[in-house]
């Protein structure tokens, strides 16, 4: 099991900044990838950004240039720095991790999720 705990959400004005943190109970160097997803009311959960264990990153088109994902392997934490926030960024943000595990005789990839942290962008 991998436990993920997010923090850093809150209320921010349009154009403001916010930094989310995600702490992992497992060494993040052992994880295939970590990412941030978000879910707005009435909408499906969507990928925002992810980072792989070889240092690659990817972003949703809607957040490119405004959000930055980073990681601190020594602290087992992943961050999402958000700039120039818009009202449409309002959502619950979830931390996600994927890890390969051997269960029985087979290896498979498993996803783990945090409990989510609310980000509200409003004046």
Mean local confidence (pLDDT), 31-54: 95
CA distance 84 to 111: 30
- In the structure, what pLDDT confidence band is assigned to residue 103 with cuts at 50, 70 and 90? confident
Is residue 55 scored above 90 in pLDDT?
no
- Name the phi and psi angles at 73, rounded to 5: -65, -30
Mean local confidence (pLDDT), 46-58: 93
CA-angle at 71, arms to 106 and 29, nearest 5°: 30
pLDDT 10s digits, 2-23: 999 999 999 999 999 999 999 9
- In the structure, what pLDDT confidence band is assigned to residue 54 with cuts at 50, 70 and 90? confident
Q: Which CA distances in Å does 85 have to 17, 20, 21, 23, 81?
A: 6, 13, 17, 23, 10
Structure tokens at 60: 């949703």
H or E stretch covering 11: strand 10-12
pLDDT 10s digits, 84-96: 999 999 999 999 9
CA distance 112 to 95: 8
Q: Pick the closest to residue 46 from 91, 109, 82 (CA basis).
A: 91
Q: Which residues on neighbouring strands pair with residue 49, listed in sequence order?
A: 36, 59
């Amino acid at each position: 099991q991998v436990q993920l705990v997010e923090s850093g959400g809150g209320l921010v004005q349009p154009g403001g900044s916010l930094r989310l943190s995600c702490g992992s109970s497992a060494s993040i160097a052992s994880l295939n990838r970590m990412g941030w997803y978000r879910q707005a009311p009435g909408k499906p959960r969507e990928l925002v950004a992810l980072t792989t264990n070889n240092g690659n990153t990817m972003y949703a088109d809607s957040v490119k240039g405004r959000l930055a994902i980073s990681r601190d392997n020594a602290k087992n934490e992943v961050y999402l720095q958000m700039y120039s926030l818009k009202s449409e960024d309002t959502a619950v943000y979830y931390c996600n991790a994927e890890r390969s595990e051997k269960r029985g005789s087979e290896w498979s990839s498993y996803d783990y999720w945090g409990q989510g942290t609310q980000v509200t962008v409003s004046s």
